[in-house]
Chains A and B, each alone.
Chain A
């Protein structure tokens, strides 16, 4: 028997299945990369390893819908090896990576290479999102069908919006032709201009150029109109505003094939947190007002927002030790996805299966698989202590990116083990 095909008996865990919406205490049996027994062992099961999960939640491995892995091209910020280690330390078994590497993921060879490297590392699974346009330049659409065959699960522009609506229109028509999903950051570039923070009283006070909410709502209005015209499936990435969420709510009600996510940062932080120009709080889209943050929380609670992503963006110190407007955007997030999701759930009295659905079963469904605890499902699991607290200390993060606004914050919810393809890939 191969070492990674061990039979594992997980004993006495709090089994939380976001797909079924259930929560029970019991045992789980895995073999050959699959769940082969729930509650009781299948006939003839002999465990190679028994994990005592008393006091631990046992749930499907987390699925992060948006992470920048930086490799290839920006290995000084992060490598595939460092970020995959961070992913599994965060309980994430599947990572959707954005195409904005250098070179960007716009060719089959690059996608194949990325998948091959991630397989060699054999930690979390990697799901590449292909570039929607060559070089993300917004001019020529990529060979989407071939990129899809190479393993791209969807297509996006990363954080660079397409300026020319004609190109977006054609890209959506073409994607719809094959049934591909586009993941678009709703942002109208001409309204962003040189903005760096939410256009509100606080940015005015600090003298920072604002990015108005209308930059998001105009883009959502355009995208939804183009969806009606083309029938293309769209996932809106990192929605940030109350007004934007209202448009999404209406579009969903109308029946458009539209989903959306929000980043862990935007659930918890607002523009006021920038304080005295703290570049740790520079994000794209910007952290918006308290009212917008409250609307994000409400939209998560009522299901308008389908999922939560880490929006992981490792940035080195040189990228952050600059005046706010010149500092790089983003923060490390893979290891914070679980505790920050749990913090939202606790604050809003959301039951664990529903909370975990936002970071496992729902994004998994969008990737075409089921993240649950039923027989036959993937043995991609996370075991975590929902009560254990820890502090965000940069040196202790596995990610090469040590920058996050949550440095020094207490997190509640600590990953004990991560299992991918039936193999323990992380133990605390």
Chain B
């Protein structure tokens, strides 16, 4: 199938999903991000990659963390950044998604960072923007969150070196998680031989095994000898209703405690996309423990977003 993220030369011009991207491009993002990191910290200097570029953060869905990291990333690359909280403005007055986008194009936008509650919104925008304008998906519905997945890949590569002999468990609300889907596609492409998802049946999407994962409903079995535990956030609103009976029961069976983590390899790392629900999906002793790499993830997130913004901008300009 035609891949709308790539131009005719196979270069990345939008980042909408990790699905279908060749390994070459995933590595390009990771390698570029590595240029912005030194000794596990962000390189403390400003780059000119996005000088003269207008970046619009279009957040149709609330997010502080992701929006802030995109803002920081764009500013470190010398872009002019505008962040719009669309829910509170245009769409409330009846303007459609594409009307909003076309108006901002008329204001000289070069790059849109889009978060939207509906799956496929970033694809829709990418299909309708003018040539030369890049779209980066900052999370759409349950579909994809590619920069989060790539910062997870960066983190894994930072601590584990290579993907081709790793056992990785993704734990929690896979059903509603765009992060999990993007992680699974990226890990598959990068050659991870054993990707596991661990969740109760109510929080797993139909046919999830078709994505190339091994399915576990039991933490003890699923965590055995894994190298990486990627926890997912569990929205509290899922607790009421028919998905799960209670926070307490979920934590008892699927929360990551020191005892359960002990089933993984001794040097296993623990990741979480944040914000964490302590005592719901993760025990504080684990979240604050030696194996947690949750704060480095945040740092790497800026480097990865810088890498993505830099690459798509350069490719849109035809400079690479």
Contact = CB atoms under 8 A, between A and B. Distances in A.
Nearest to A205: B211
Interface in B149-182: 178, 181
Interface in B217-271: none
A276 B118 contact: no
B144 A207 contact: yes
Interface stretch (B47-55, B121-129, B272-280): B121-129
Contact of A205 (B1, B118, B210): B210
A207 B141 contact: yes
Contacts of B97: 322-323
Contacts of A201: 206-208, 210-211
Contacts of B291: none
Interface string B179-219: 00100000000000000000000000111101100000000
A22 interface: no
Contacts of B140: 207, 323
Contacts of B208: 201, 204
A204 B4 CA distance: 20
A245 to B, nearest CB: 20
B128 A324 contact: no
A330 interface: no
Given A206-B143, A207-B141, A325-B119, A275 B124 contact: no
A321 B144 contact: no
A377 to B, nearest CB: 49
Contacts of A325: 118-120, 141
B116 interface: yes
Contact of A207 (B98, B119, B128, B206): B119
Given A207-B143, A321-B96, A276 B206 contact: no
B115 interface: no
A204 B178 contact: no
B94 to A, nearest CB: 11
Interface string A188-206: 0000000000011101111
A276 B4 contact: yes
Interface string B1-26: 10010000000000000010000000
A375 B130 CA distance: 61
Given A205-B210, A207-B142, A324 B205 contact: no
A204 B207 contact: yes
A321 B98 contact: yes
Interface centre among B4, B124, B128 (most CB of A within 10 A): B124
Contacts of A395: none
Contacts of B142: 207-209
Nearest to B1: A275
Interface residues of A, number: 22
Residue from A212, A323, A324 whose CB has the most chain B CB atoms within 10 Å: A323
A286 interface: no
A323 B178 contact: no
A206 B119 contact: yes
A205 B177 CA distance: 11
Contacts, number: 75
Contacts of B205: 203-204, 210
A208 B120 CA distance: 9
B143 A322 contact: no
Interface in A10-47: none
A26 to B, nearest CB: 49
A324 B119 contact: yes
Interface in B97-112: 97-98
Given A203-B206, A204-B207, A318 B96 contact: yes
Nearest to B145: A207
Contact of A323 (B120, B207, B210, B211): B120
Interface in A204-237: 204-210, 212
Interface string A303-340: 00000000000000010011111100000000000000
Contact of A326 (B118, B127, B143): B118
Nearest to B120: A277
A201 B96 CA distance: 30
B119 to A, nearest CB: 4
Nearest to B121: A323
Contacts of A206: 119-120, 143
A45 B178 CA distance: 73
A275 B116 CA distance: 19
Nearest to A272: B1
A242 to B, nearest CB: 16
Contacts of A208: 119-120, 141-143
Contacts of B181: 205, 207
B124 A323 contact: yes
A99 B210 CA distance: 41
Contacts of A318: 96
B210 A324 contact: no
| A207, A318, A322, A323 interface centre (most CB from chain B within 10 Å) | A207
Interface in A273-295: 275-277
Nearest to A318: B96
A3 B241 CA distance: 67
Nearest to B144: A207
B123 A276 contact: yes
A290 to B, nearest CB: 13
Interface string A255-284: 000000000000000000001110000000
Contacts of B143: 206-208
A277 B122 CA distance: 10
A200 B207 contact: yes
Contact of B128 (A209, A212, A321): A321
Contacts of B128: 321
Of the candidates B97, B121, B205, the one having the most CB atoms from chain A within 10 angstroms of its own CB is B205
Nearest to B126: A276
B124 A322 contact: yes
Scoring B118, B128, B178 by chain A CB atoms within 10 A of each residue's CB, the highest score goes to B118
A277 B96 contact: no
Contacts of B120: 206, 208, 276-277, 323-325
8 contacts: A200-B206, A201-B210, A207-B119, A207-B141, A207-B178, A318-B96, A321-B98, A323-B124
Given A276-B123, A276-B127, 12 more contacts: A205-B210, A206-B120, A207-B140, A208-B142, A208-B143, A209-B142, A210-B206, A276-B120, A277-B119, A277-B124, A323-B141, A326-B118
Enumerate the 8 nearest inter-chain pairs by beta-carbon distance, A residue then B residue, closest first: A277-B120, A201-B207, A207-B143, A207-B142, A204-B205, A323-B118, A201-B210, A207-B119
Interface of B: 1, 4, 19, 96-98, 116, 118-121, 123-124, 127-128, 140-144, 178, 181, 205-208, 210-211
